[in-house]
């Protein structure tokens, strides 16, 4: 049985893992250390691939039997982005759908980092003059998408995922996905580092169908991170902080 690998591991098994990630295009060169770059590459791979049953891998950065299988085999292909994004799914608020439409348009246009990590004209646009690139831009991307809502962005434009979450909480816009299904244009927020740190990550819900959540996110994965779709098993999302919806 393949060794279970996680952050901090080192040795030949990590060398094999990183070589498979190189072959799949998720990392530039092999290494024997399971560092932050390798974890991000693993998470990006997990978010884009399926297990032997055709279900999305759990995005937790831990390389267990199912992730090893997907790395070594041609897993069943998910629905292509082009087919999935041909028309937005139904549901969601008018404001959220406007933000989601903007996100889809950016993805179709090829929005991504250029030149170096967290940099380039797309990133500068999302940072909105609040800080110069290079800088983390996932929250800036979500904020920018909501500027396309009727009447403009309904919350404070922020470059912080947790700051947006806190703004939503103050407005009563957060909800529990255990009792309410995520809808197109909702936000989804994760913690990074530690659960009580200020670091976070944020994306937009594209759809939630049969327990599978599809999102559009920026600034996830290694350079040149594009705006793209990710898929999760709704009840097994690692590091989840919660969901929110603009009425």
Q: Indicate if 195 and 128 belong to the same structural domain.
A: yes
Query: pLDDT of 178-227, one tens digit each?
Result: 889 999 999 999 998 777 888 899 999 999 987 788 999 999 988 899 99
Co-location of 175 and 53 in the same domain? no
Number of domains in the chain: 2
pLDDT tens, residue order, the chain (247 aa): 568 899 999 999 999 999 999 988 899 899 999 999 999 899 888 887 888 777 778 888 999 888 998 898 865 555 556 556 667 888 999 999 999 999 999 999 999 999 999 999 999 999 999 999 999 999 999 999 999 999 999 999 999 999 999 999 999 999 998 889 999 999 999 998 777 888 899 999 999 987 788 999 999 988 899 999 988 878 778 889 999 999 9
Q: pLDDT tens, 109-130?
A: 999 999 999 999 999 999 999 9
- Do 114 and 140 belong to one domain? yes
Q: 224: domain range? A: 81-244
Q: Look at residues 44, 39, 45 and name the one whose alpha carbon lies nearest to residue 61.
A: 39
In a domain, residue 2? The reply is no
Asked which of 21, 49, 72 is the last residue of a domain, the reply is 72
Tell me which residue has tokens 């974890």.
Answer: 39
The number of beta carbons lying within 10 Å of the beta carbon of residue 46 is 26
Whether 247 contacts 236, CB under 8 Å: no
Q: Are residues 213 and 119 in the same domain?
A: yes
Picking from 72, 96, 116, the residue at the C-terminal end of a domain is: 72
Does a structural domain hold residue 3?
Answer: no
Q: Which two tokens stand for residue 187?
A: 């936000």
Examine the domain organization and report whether 62 and 92 are in the same domain: no
Q: Do 68 and 90 share a structural domain? A: no
Q: Is 1 a domain residue?
A: no
Q: Is 92 part of any domain? A: yes
Residues 168 and 239 in one domain: yes
What CATH number should be reported for the domain holding residue 153?
3.90.1720
- Which of 23, 40, 72 is the C-terminal boundary of a domain? 72
Whether residue 58 sits in one domain with residue 108: no
Length of the chain: 247
Residues 62 and 133 in one domain: no
The answer on 150 and 95 residing in a single domain is: yes
């Amino acid at each position: 049985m393949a060794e279970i690998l996680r952050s901090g591991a080192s040795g030949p098994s990590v060398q094999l893992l990183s070589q498979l990630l190189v072959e799949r295009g998720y990392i530039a060169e092999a290494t024997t250390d399971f560092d932050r770059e390798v974890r991000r590459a693993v998470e990006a791979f997990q978010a884009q691939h399926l297990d032997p049953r055709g279900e999305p891998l759990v995005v937790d950065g831990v390389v267990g039997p199912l992730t090893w299988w997907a790395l070594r085999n041609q897993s069943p292909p998910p629905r292509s982005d082009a087919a999935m994004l041909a028309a937005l799914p139904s549901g969601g608020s008018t404001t959220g759908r406007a933000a989601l439409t903007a996100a889809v348009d950016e993805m179709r246009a090829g929005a991504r980092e250029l030149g170096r990590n967290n940099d380039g004209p797309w990133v500068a646009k999302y940072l909105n003059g609040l800080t110069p690139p290079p800088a983390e831009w996932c929250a800036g991307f979500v904020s920018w998408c909501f500027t396309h809502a009727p009447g403009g962005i309904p919350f404070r434009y922020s470059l912080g995922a947790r700051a947006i979450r806190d703004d939503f909480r103050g407005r009563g816009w957060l909800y529990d996905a255990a009792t309410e299904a995520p809808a197109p244009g909702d936000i989804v927020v994760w913690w990074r580092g530690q659960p009580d740190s200020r670091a976070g990550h944020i994306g937009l819900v594209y759809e939630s169908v049969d327990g599978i959540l599809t999102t559009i996110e920026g600034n996830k994965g290694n350079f040149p991170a594009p705006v793209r779709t990710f898929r999760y098993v709704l009840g097994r999302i690692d590091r989840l902080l919660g969901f929110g919806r603009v009425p």
